[in-house]
Amino acid sequence: MIKIVAVGKIKEKYFVDGIQEYIKRLGPYTKIEIIEVPDGACAPNASIAEQELVKQKEGDAILSKIKEDEVVICLDLHGKNYNSLEISKKLEEISTYQSSKVTFTIAGSMGYSEKVIQRANLRWCLSNCTFPHQIVRLLLVEQIYRSYKIRKNENYHK
């Protein structure tokens, strides 16, 4: 079982359609659930204290959707870089030795609260580039799908 807990809602139909396509493709391999938690409103000129408050609120919302028996992978610019083969192997190791329940998290625009970072079992830097959250969610479901194709030794058209 794969769960994605993401801050914010995707409004653009083309992103929703792309994500749904990969969820459909994942059907034979695993169940996948996407949970959206509200993003905190923060003025562009907000103080550091106000930004921290928003991060804490978003972090608490993320943590409220995670159960104790889930392995948590935070998508984080400060995480470790894994290529597709490496993340596939890592996910296989997790499902074999730790838990069949893997939860990926996607933070809001200000990043994670310290509580979420502490809860993470793994921090994965999806790319050294910065992407909008909608693209990150699409890239994540594609990489999860690719991971299963690799694990099953099946062709994946590039």
| Binding-site residue set for S-adenosyl-L-methionine | 75, 107
Task: Return the DSSP state at 93.
Answer: H
Residues annotated in the binding site, as ranges? 75, 107
Q: Quick check: 79 and 122 in contact, CB under 8 A? A: yes
Distance CA 148, CA 155 (A): 11
Beta carbons within 8 Å of 111's beta carbon, 6+ residues apart: 55, 76, 77
User: For the chain, how far is it from start to end, CA to CA, in angstroms?
Assistant: 25
- Annotate 4-48 with three-state secondary structure: EEEECCCCCHHHHHHHHHHHHHHCCCCCEEEEEECCCCCCCCCCH
